[in-house]
Structure 1
């Protein structure tokens, strides 16, 4: 098991000082070491595989690609120092870059199989591509915006205001009882048999710890305490960061009192390790790219052999 969640692996120097360089784009295009990560419709281009080769991002020189819809400077590779951009292509551009559809793959599918360097680039690339796609207009006046600062901001063409990428914080919680069983819930939007940890967005003016207690109270009707932070990871679907916590059923409360809210959560179940191992043939667990799976396997003590795949994305 990785010491950190799958999308939290960071092996890139973001080189923030370079973003203000007005000649950055020209210098990047002329640099023989420059490489681009290609994105189309939220999917990343992977390199052509030969028998036995690992899955890797396609990283080609910018001179080999057509004009993109968007380019954003990601930073420099570590330790080589090669500059990298994400280039976002429309349908025609993507077809010119690579017509084979199977080579355009989702971040959810790629995260568990990419090495740390490629996973770091892929996560940053998708997060920025998603932000630009969803913020074509100024939140203050509604005017059109355009990318500036090497793609790390957008400027309004009407009121000249500057806007930066935002990330929405959400807590995700591994709740256990005094018998060290874990609480899993099934969301109303999921197919039957699909379970994960309980999670929710942090509200304005709320601490992370308070959000944990509130979310579990709202979704499971049970009080928790002994809230402990474990890890975080970006979740750019489209713009969240998942903050992983553990919590225990509070003193005086009982695990049997847990009840789904009936709106967001339709079913709750407690699992011991043996229960989980026995149920994996019929249970759909969180996908391997998620911090939910990472937290669950940290509690379990190793990889969980789940036969039924998580189908999203």
Structure 2
């Protein structure tokens, strides 16, 4: 379960990390050790669109390195993801590099909703790294083609000597309340009827709290009175880290360039929106999907609002 008894959702692991791999940084520079692990390792295969190969039921199809290459190596062109609780290694590899065939492919959002949490987290790690590799084949400083090092966690430029490492972009996401109501907005590009809490990227030279205050002001016209950090969620679409906050603000919100609509919702309106997850009447507000930290923040507000938990 998540904080305050709310249901767990993909990509937010248990606080003790049981839902994630041991990233095993100590092994990344040891190519001999990675080669030894390869034969018995499970390998996540991704197509050119970042979808994972899956079985007939849509679950992860992760063959061993031996099944892919007869145990004769392969770690040199793959990315080392880490070790599970049993010490088994996990790698990811572009599916085009193998002859392995699977009946289906699954996108990351679907996997996050349907797969076991650890496998979804492994897929998320693999997809984020694939995206980074695709965009760093050449050095951003001199244009020379880069070389892959450290089990896929570093690209080195032989031209100017610059080392490149995977990047994660921090973004704040905030449930703004005025004591009795929750603030939600929607972008024009979102699916019809979809509403969510406020979010935006952290800018250079800015603290997380400053980013919360700026984003809420820019998107809604409201000034945050106070905010508090609650939880985080890796969001590999393609490489963000969502940092969740609760905040307080008062006043009448105004739409902006970012949000075509923004409004306060009381607990009755949020309750009706929650019910549509089970019985959509085709009208009214739809909330963020359960796999997102946005929904977790909404559920947390609901549980802490008088009457909310008992009416859920």
Once the two structures are superposed, residues 134-157 of structure 1 have per-residue CA deviations (whole angstroms, 9 ceiling, x without a partner) of 222212112211211110011113
Taking structure 1 as the reference length, the TM-score comes to 0.83
The CA distance in 2 between the partners of 1:188 and 1:56, in whole Å, is: 33
2:270 corresponds to 1:276: yes
Q: 1:22–1:86: structure 2 CA closer, same or farther, 3 Å change rule?
A: same
- The answer to whether the 8 A contact 2:142-2:160 is kept is yes
2:299 corresponds to 1:292: no
The CA distance in 2 between the partners of 1:172 and 1:203, in whole Å, is: 14
Gaps of 5+ in 2: 14-18
- The answer to whether the 8 A contact 1:109-1:289 is kept is no
Once the two structures are superposed, residues 157-201 of structure 1 have per-residue CA deviations (whole angstroms, 9 ceiling, x without a partner) of 32121110010000001011122x111101132244221111000
Cα RMSD of the aligned pairs, angstroms, is 2.3
Gaps of 5+ in 1: 50-54, 304-313
The 5-angstrom pairing of residues 15-164 of structure 1 reads 15-30=24-39, 33-40=40-47, 41-49=49-57, 56-65=59-68, 70-78=77-85, 80-90=86-96, 93=98, 96-100=99-103, 103-164=104-165
Which contiguous aligned blocks of 4+ residues in structure 1 show a shift greater than 3 angstroms? Answer: 1-5, 66-70
Q: 1:12–1:243: structure 2 CA closer, same or farther, 3 Å change rule?
A: same
The CA distance in 2 between the partners of 1:153 and 1:115, in whole Å, is: 29
Shift of 1:70: 4.6
Q: 1:220 aligns to what?
A: 220
Q: Matched residue pairs, number?
A: 283
Q: 1:267 aligns to what?
A: 261
Once the two structures are superposed, residues 215-236 of structure 1 have per-residue CA deviations (whole angstroms, 9 ceiling, x without a partner) of 0000000011220101001111
- The answer to whether the 8 A contact 1:20-1:150 is kept is yes
- The answer to whether the 8 A contact 2:9-2:290 is kept is no
The CA distance in 1 between the partners of 2:59 and 2:234, in whole Å, is: 20
Q: 1:270–1:284: structure 2 CA closer, same or farther, 3 Å change rule?
A: same
- The answer to whether the 8 A contact 2:175-2:247 is kept is yes
Higher strand share: 1
Shift of 1:82: 0.5
Q: 1:278–1:29: structure 2 CA closer, same or farther, 3 Å change rule?
A: closer
Shift of 1:291: 0.9
Q: 1:309 aligns to what?
A: none
SS at match of 2:114: coil
The CA distance in 2 between the partners of 1:194 and 1:215, in whole Å, is: 20
